[in-house]
Amino acid sequence: MTIQPRSDHSGHKVNEANHKHRVQFLIGGDESALPELEAVLSTLPLCATGRVFVEVESEDEIGLLDVPPRMTVTWLPRSRRSGAPGSGASCAQGEAFSRAIRAWAAEMLCADPEEAHIWLGGHYRGVAEAHDYLTTSLGVAADVIQTPPAYRLGVSR
């Protein structure tokens, strides 16, 4: 007796990956937005794929986040990072997660940046730098990027 694979609702067989419409989730913020970040993570579908970058002051603030199995979490302690290259300055709040978001997006969103859902929270500097890079350099539409409404990023002035 041979078992034939069943089709699911999207038309592919259950033993095949459906890569046609894979949406990447990119989530980043610092410790000031941790409650909102956790709320966003709780709404993700179980099959979500992508990255989560969380900037904190030190290793002591690293915790556990409940994420779907295909999501990767990277904690970014500022106490172990420097500021702008060559400046000798310490890493400012928002700087580490903004750099991580920009680096990951430059590599992973190059094929189709519109197949992404992006959430940025935390210090204005980090959110604004990441948002500007995503929209200006990578051509990501502002409507796929969620930022704190008070920052008015992506809003026509």
Using the predicted structure, report yes or no on whether residue 12 has a pLDDT greater than 90. no
Look at residue 1 and tell me if it is in a domain: no
Look at residue 50 and tell me if it is in a domain: yes
Q: Which of 22, 33, 24, 25 is nearest to 97 (CA)?
A: 33
Query: How far apart (Å, rounded) are the C-alpha atoms in residues 53 and 30?
Result: 8
Helix%, strand%, coil% for the chain, nearest 5: 35, 20, 45
Look at residue 94 and tell me if it is in a domain: yes
pLDDT the model gives residue 28: 97
Using the predicted structure, report yes or no on whether residue 126 has a pLDDT greater than 50. yes
Label residue 56 by pLDDT band (50, 70, 90): very high
Using a pLDDT cut of 70, give the percent of the chain over it.
82
Label residue 14 by pLDDT band (50, 70, 90): very low
The total of structural domains in the chain comes to 1
pTM of the model: 0.82
DSSP classification of residue 16: S
Look at residue 139 and tell me if it is in a domain: yes
Look at residue 72 and tell me if it is in a domain: yes
For the segment 82-111, what is each residue's pLDDT rounded down to a tens digit?
777 777 788 999 999 999 999 999 998 866
Look at residue 119 and tell me if it is in a domain: yes
Look up the domain containing 40 and give its range.
28-145
50: CB partners within 8 A, 6+ apart = 24, 25, 26, 27, 70, 71, 72, 116
**C-alpha Rg value of the chain to the nearest Å:** 18
**52-59: average pLDDT:** 96
**129-133: average pLDDT:** 96
Burial of 23 (0-12, 13-18, 19+ CB in 10 A): middle
Assign residue 74 the CATH number of its domain: 3.40.50.80
Using the predicted structure, report yes or no on whether residue 8 has a pLDDT greater than 60. no
pLDDT the model gives residue 89: 80
